[in-house]
Amino acid sequence: MAKGVKPRVKVPKTAAAGETITIKTLISHKMESGQRKDGDGNIIPRSIINRFTTDFNGQNVIDVTIEPAVSTNPYFQFEAVVPEAGEFKFTWYDDDGSVYEETKKVAIG
Amino acid sequence: MKTKIIITSIAAIAVSAGSLMADEDAQLVIDDEAMTIQADAPAHMENVDEVLSGWIFRSRETQALQMDDFDNPAFIFVDQALDLWDKVDGTEGKSCSSCHEDVAEFAGLRTKMPRVEDGNLVTMEELVNECRTDRMGAEPWKWSKGNMTAMTALIGLQSRGMPMNVAIDGDAAPYWEKGKELYYTRVGQLDMSCSNCHEDNYGNMIRADHLSQGQINGFPTYRLKNAKLNSMHGRFKGCMKNIRATPYKEGSPEFKALELYLASRGTGLAVETPSVRN
Amino acid sequence: MTEVSRRAALTLGTGTLAYVALTGMPVFASATDEMIAAVTGGAEAVDGGIDVIAPEIAENGNTVPIEVSAPGAASITILATGNPNPGVATFNFGPLAGSRSASTRIRLARTQDVIAVAQMEDGTFRKASANVKVTIGGCGG
Give C29-84 as a DSSP string: --HHHHHHHHHHTT--EEESS-EEE--SEES-TTSEEEEEE-TTEEEEEEEETTSS
Separation between Cα atoms, residue B59 and residue C56, nearest integer Å = 10
Q: What is the largest CA-CA distance in chain A?
A: 59
**Dihedral of CA B178/B270/B208/A77: which sign?**
positive
Q: Which of B99, B131, B197, B239 is catalytic?
A: B239
Inter-chain residue contact B70 with A24, CB threshold 8 Å: yes
Inter-chain residue contact C93 with A77, CB threshold 8 Å:
no
- Residues of chain C in contact with residue A80, where contact means CB-CB under 8 angstroms, are 96-98
Least Cα separation, residue B70 to chain A (angstroms) = 7
Size of interface B-C (CB pairs under 8 A): 58
Question: Would you call C138 and B224 a contact, using CB atoms and an 8 Å cutoff?
Answer: no
Residue A81 is nearest to which of C96, C101, C103, comparing CB atoms?
Answer: C96
Contact B227 A71 (CB under 8 A): yes
- Binding partners of A (≥3 Cβ pairs within 8 A): B, C
CB B131 within 8 A of CB B221: no
The CATH class that applies to domain A6-108 reads mainly beta
Whole-number Å distance between alpha carbons of B146 and B153 = 10
Mean pLDDT of A22-45: 94
pLDDT for A6 equals: 86
All residues of chain A having their beta carbon less than 8 Å from the beta carbon of residue C94 are 54-55, 59-63
CA dist B24 and B86 (Å) reads 43
**Within 13 Å, how many C-alpha atoms sit on residue A108's CB side?**
10
| Domain over B23-278 is classified CATH 1.10.760.10 | yes
Give the pLDDT confidence of C20-37 residue by residue, as tens digits. 445 554 545 688 899 999
In what helix (H) or strand (E) does residue C131 lie, and over which residues does it extend? strand C125-134
pLDDT at B209 (0 to 100):
85
What is the full DSSP assignment across C85-108? Answer: S-EEEEEEE-TTEEEEEEEEEE--
- Are B76 and A73 within 8 A, CB to CB? yes
Task: Tell me if A45 sits within 8 A of A83, measured CB to CB.
Answer: no
Residue B207 confidence (pLDDT): 82
What are the residue ranges in chain B where pLDDT is below 50? Answer: 1-21
The rounded distance, in Å, linking the Cα atoms of C55 and C76 is 19
Instruction: Write out pLDDT tens, residues B98-156.
Output: 999 899 999 999 999 999 999 999 999 999 999 999 999 999 999 999 999 999 999 99
Check whether A43 has a pLDDT greater than 70. yes
Neighbours of chain C (3+ CB pairs under 8 A): A, B
The answer, for A72 touching chain C at a CB cutoff of 8 Å, is: yes
Number of C-beta neighbours around residue C40 at 10 A = 16
Which residues on C lie below 8 Å from B238 (Cβ)?
140-141
How far does the CA of residue B76 sit from the closest CA of chain A (Å)? Answer: 6
Q: Do the Cβ atoms of C50 and C126 come closer than 8 Å?
A: yes
Q: Is B13 exposed, middle or buried (0-12, 13-18, 19+ CB in 10 A)?
A: exposed
The beta-carbon neighbor of C60 closest among B64, B224, B239 is B224
Per the CB < 8 A criterion, the answer to whether A47 and A98 are in contact is: no
Which residues does chain B have within 8 Å of residue C53's beta carbon, measured at their own beta carbons?
none
Q: State the DSSP code for B120.
A: E
The alpha-carbon gap from C31 to the nearest alpha carbon of chain A, in Å, equals 18
Which is nearest to B275 in space by CA: B132, B15, B66?
Answer: B66
pLDDT of residue C139: 64
Among C53, C59, C134, pick the best mutation site for testing chain B contact (most B Cβ within 10 A): C59
Name chain C contacts of A35, Cβ cutoff 8 Å: 84
Mean pLDDT, residues A80-98: 97
Answer whether A69 sits within 8 Å of C97, measured CB to CB: no
The pLDDT value given to residue A105: 96
- Give which of A18, A11, A24 is closest to A108, Cα–Cα: A18
> Where are the domains positioned within chain B?
23-278
Facing A71 at nearest CB: one of C62, C83, C85: C62
Cis peptide before B220 (omega within 30 of 0): yes
The pLDDT, as a whole number, for residue B14 is 35
Best residue of B70, B226, B229 to probe chain A, by most A CBs closer than 10 Å = B70
Which chain A residues touch B146 with a CB distance below 8 Å? 4
Contacts of C64 in chain B (CB under 8 A): 61
Residue B119 gets the label, from left (phi > 0), alpha (psi -120 to 50) or beta, of: left
Across the interface, whether the CB atoms of A64 and C84 are under 8 A apart is answered no
Q: Chain A: nearest CA to B146, how far in angstroms? A: 10
- Whose CA is closest to A10, among A49, A54, A51, A72? A54
3-state secondary structure of B240: helix
Q: Please state, for a pLDDT cut of 70, what percent of chain A lies above it.
A: 97
Beta-bridge partners for A104: A88
Ordered alpha helix ranges (H), B26-172: 60-66, 74-86, 96-99, 124-130, 146-157
Does pTM top 0.90 for this prediction? no
Q: Report how many Cβ contacts below 8 Å link chain A to chain B.
A: 29
A99/B228 Cα distance (integer angstroms) = 22
Residue C9: which pLDDT band, with cuts at 50, 70 and 90?
Answer: low
Selected residue of A56, A64, A87, A92 to mutate for chain C interface (largest C Cβ count, 10 A): A64
Q: Is C103 on the interface with A (CB under 8 A)?
A: yes
Catalytic (active site) residue B131: no
CA distance B227 to chain C (A): 8
* Biggest distance spanned by C-alpha atoms of chain C: 68
Burial status of residue B211 (CB atoms within 10 A of its CB: 0-12, 13-18, 19 or more):
buried
- Looking at the partner chain, which of B83, B146, B227 has a beta carbon nearest the beta carbon of A73? B227
In chain A, pLDDT over 90 holds for what percent of residues? 91
